[in-house]
Amino acid sequence: MNKNLRKAIIAGNWKMNKTRPEAKALLEAIKPLVANADGKIEVVACVPFTNLETALAVTEGSNVKIGAENVHFEKSGAFTGEISADMLTELGVEYVVIGHSERRQYFGETDETVNKRTLAALNAGLKPIVCVGELKWERVCGITEEVVGKQVKLDLYDVTAEQMKNVVIAYEPVWAIGTGLTATPDQAEEVCAFIRATLAKMFDQATADAVTIQYGGSMNAKNAAELLAKPNIDGGLIGGASLKAEDFNVIVQAAVNG
Ligand code: PGA
């Protein structure tokens, strides 16, 4: 495997945090810290819908890209409370998190809706960060590969090899999210390598080699370098640690130096 074949992406997932003034302050703190990553790795902040316009304005002309945390699959219509892919692209949003385990767990997201959202995002020109990962008991039962393999196949159904150039996959073991329990670098590498092997079967080796696969789940300033040193871990989707500029920057610098 050759890491030079793909771009490292460090993306913050702010979840339901930060008002507009708080978002502005955080991004203004992050921007100068990560400026040296320009041209080396991609730095993304995925923020609540209400912060998108502010975030885009604050980061304009910088190397910090902005993402949303979800998108609906229909183009428009009677879907109260939902946001379409066209609404996001019109704002200037580039990335969107899809199928986060919190959406799957609390909001009834299924592999079918993750797939529909992924296709809608791609067709509108967004770059989806598709999240997959096993529950604790699925790991205990030894079915991590079955679970993650099934998610990858279902979530990316009907996506073409050409479209895969714009897809990012985030491997996030559910038991590691927000718990302080990080997968060991070897555990994370094993599943990320398995995801790449699955993509090679679904598409071809060159397509699989070019896909950025992130690890997510309690990645922080202390453990990032070790995780990012693994050959199949091409970045991180960072929750808690993305809400502090200094911590987020340590992770970005680990990817820059990795
Ligand atoms: P965490 O969240 O870093 O707080 O564990 C990661 C995520 O949910 O994407």
User: Domains of the chain by range and CATH?
Assistant: 9-257 (3.20.20.70)
Q: Is pLDDT at 244 greater than 50 in this prediction?
A: yes
Q: Is pLDDT at 78 greater than 90 in this prediction?
A: yes
Q: Per residue in 150-167, pLDDT tens?
A: 999 999 999 999 999 999
CA 149 / ligand 1 centre spacing (Å): 21
Instruction: List C-alpha distances in Å: 189 to 10, 19, 21, 192, 213.
Output: 17, 35, 38, 5, 10
- What pLDDT band is residue 192 in, cutting at 50, 70 and 90? very high
Backbone phi, psi, residue 162, to 5°: -60, -45
Backbone phi, psi, residue 125, to 5°: 95, 10
Q: Is pLDDT at 120 greater than 80 in this prediction?
A: yes
- What pLDDT band is residue 143 in, cutting at 50, 70 and 90? very high
Residue with tokens 């997510």: 216
| Ligand 1 contacts CB of residue 217 (under 6 A) | yes
Q: What is the average per-residue pLDDT within 45-65? A: 98
CA 31 / ligand 1 centre spacing (Å): 21
Query: Which helix (H) or strand (E) covers residue 91, if one does?
Result: helix 85-91
pLDDT at position 178, please?
Answer: 87
Q: Closest by alpha carbon to 222, among 244, 239, 241?
A: 241
| Ligand 1 contacts CB of residue 67 (under 6 A) | no
Q: Is pLDDT at 3 greater than 70 in this prediction?
A: no
Q: Is pLDDT at 61 greater than 70 in this prediction?
A: yes
pLDDT at position 258, please?
Answer: 82
CA 157 / ligand 1 centre spacing (Å): 25
Q: What is the average per-residue pLDDT within 195-207? A: 98
| Ligand 1 contacts CB of residue 178 (under 6 A) | yes
What whole-number percentage of the chain has pLDDT above 90? 95
Closest ligand 1 atom, residue 101 Cα: 8
Q: What is the average per-residue pLDDT within 78-88? A: 98
Question: In 74-108, which positions are buried (b, 16+ CB within 10 angstroms) versus exposed (e)?
Answer: eeeeeeeeebbbbbbbeeebbbbbbbbbbbbeeee
DSSP helix/strand/coil, 226 = helix
DSSP helix/strand/coil, 66 = strand
Q: Is pLDDT at 70 greater than 90 in this prediction?
A: yes
Closest ligand 1 atom, residue 240 Cα: 4
User: Which protein residue's CA is at the shortest distance from atom 7 of ligand 1?
Assistant: 239
What type of residue sits at position 25? A
CA 254 / ligand 1 centre spacing (Å): 17
pLDDT at position 181, please?
Answer: 86
Q: Can you tell me the distance from the alpha carbon of 207 to that of 217, in angstroms, rounded to the nearest whole number? A: 26
Q: Can you tell me the distance from the alpha carbon of 91 to that of 242, in angstroms, rounded to the nearest whole number? A: 23
What type of residue sits at position 69? E
| Ligand 1 contacts CB of residue 214 (under 6 A) | no
Q: What is the average per-residue pLDDT within 35-44? A: 97
Determine contact, residues 72/109, Cβ cutoff 8 Å: no
pTM score of the predicted model: 0.97
- Mean residue pLDDT across the chain: 97
Q: Closest by alpha carbon to 124, among 81, 100, 94, 103?
A: 94
| Ligand 1 contacts CB of residue 219 (under 6 A) | yes
DSSP helix/strand/coil, 257 = helix
Q: What is the largest CA-CA distance in the chain?
A: 48
Catalytic (active site) residue 100? yes
